[in-house]
């Protein structure tokens, strides 16, 4: 009996190391105050319980690459270094090819949402080279890393991580396999999880909102996003400007985010010269873009420019989307 008991205890000792690690990790890795608050938010906001969340989160890994990438975004470059990344002949030609292949879908999106084809194509072109590059970071790793290891924006990314867990459940997506940007954006149009849930549409009617592999759904979803963010059909986006010598540009070029701070009339009356079909009372703002040798170019942004910044808050991003869209529009005139 004694020998049997000793043998049994020995077997338990052998088994314990196999069973313990997973249980131990689940009990300790996700037991900080931040994790507890996150799980409470998941339950209240998305009706996801802790056990189901941990079943996915236990596969997440801290990514140093993600932390490096978010600290050195392309939008931190000056304009003259930023735009050559996107405004290339290769991107233009690929965009026109994408437009021809999906012309019927783009025309339908423009009819239904009022967003011109060139803007939709430009967005997809800037974001993923028309679906050719969807990102190399695991979305789960990226969101987990930024949610719990990047204090400057932890609140935002914890919210996005919650939306991601809800999204993979709703759309039956493989949580541990999805690839995207360092910020967790996915698919042809690089939608973050909250935007995917709010603005994605099943544009081909197959019963699934697939922005990861389906360009038709992606086209409709980008158009829907812009429509929901108050795109004004048929209205201008921006106009090049030049400034009178006696005009104090600093009074008009502010650092207050992307909000349109003046009106067309106010800028014209102040000696800022530009041509636009917009009414004088239309909201507007003067943007300065750095050029080589300490020079600068000036553009007056209008409400549709502001709408582009709802997709990405950088004015540089909005300007490169606008300029690519103009190249595409001119190139597509022969379709």
Residues in a beta bridge with 298:
241, 288
Please name the helix (run of DSSP H) or strand (run of DSSP E) that holds residue 12, with its range, or none.
helix 2-28
Q: Which of 289, 303, 228, 299 is nearest to 260 (CA)?
A: 303
pTM of the model: 0.89
Local structure of 132: helix, strand or coil: coil
Residue 176: per-residue pLDDT: 97
72 or 17, which is more confident? Answer: 72
Would the CA dihedral through 316, 143, 168, 131 be positive or negative?
positive
Q: Which of 44, 67, 42, 74 is nearest to 55 (CA)?
A: 42
> pLDDT per residue over 68-109, tens digit each?
999 988 888 999 999 999 999 999 999 999 999 999 999 999
> pLDDT per residue over 22-34, tens digit each?
333 344 578 899 9
Q: Is 93 a catalytic residue?
A: no
Q: How far apart are CA 28 and CA 26, in angstroms?
A: 6
> pLDDT per residue over 147-172, tens digit each?
999 999 999 999 999 999 999 999 99
Residue 258's pLDDT band (boundaries 50, 70, 90)?
Answer: confident
Q: How far apart are CA 85 and CA 329, in angstroms?
A: 20
> Which of 75, 101, 112, 127 is flagged as catalytic?
127
């Amino acid at each position: 009996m004694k020998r049997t008991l000793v043998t049994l205890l020995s077997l338990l000792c052998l088994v314990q190391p196999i069973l313990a690690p997973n249980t131990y990790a689940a009990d300790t890795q996700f037991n900080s105050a931040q994790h507890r608050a996150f799980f409470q938010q998941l339950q209240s906001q998305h009706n996801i319980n802790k056990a189901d969340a941990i079943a996915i989160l236990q596969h997440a890994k801290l990514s140093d690459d993600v932390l490096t990438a978010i600290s050195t975004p392309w939008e931190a470059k000056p304009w003259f270094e930023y735009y050559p990344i996107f405004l290339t002949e290769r991107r233009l030609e690929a965009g026109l090819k994408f437009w021809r292949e999906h012309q019927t879908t783009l025309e339908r999106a423009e009819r239904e949402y009022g967003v011109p084809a060139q803007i939709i194509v430009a967005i997809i072109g800037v974001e993923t080279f028309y679906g050719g590059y969807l990102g190399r970071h695991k979305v789960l790793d990226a969101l987990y890393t930024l949610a719990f290891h990047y204090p400057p924006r932890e609140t935002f990314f914890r919210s996005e991580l919650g939306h991601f867990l809800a999204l993979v459940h709703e759309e039956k997506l493989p949580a541990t396999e999805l690839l995207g940007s360092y910020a967790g954006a996915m698919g042809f149009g690089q939608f973050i999880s909250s935007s995917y849930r709010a603005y994605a549409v099943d544009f081909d009617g197959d019963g699934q909102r697939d922005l990861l592999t389906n360009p038709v759904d992606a086209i409709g979803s980008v158009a829907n996003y812009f429509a929901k963010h108050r795109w004004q059909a048929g209205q201008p986006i921006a106009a090049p400007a030049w400034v009178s010598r006696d005009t104090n540009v600093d009074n008009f070029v502010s650092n207050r985010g992307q909000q349109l701070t003046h009106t067309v009339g106010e800028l014209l009356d102040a000696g800022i010269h530009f041509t636009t079909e917009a009414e004088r009372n239309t909201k507007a703002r003067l943007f300065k873009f750095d050029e080589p040798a300490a020079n600068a170019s000036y553009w007056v942004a209008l409400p549709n420019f502001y709408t582009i910044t709802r997709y990405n808050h950088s004015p540089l991003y909005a300007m490169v989307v606008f300029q690519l869209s103009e190249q595409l529009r001119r190139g597509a005139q022969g379709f």
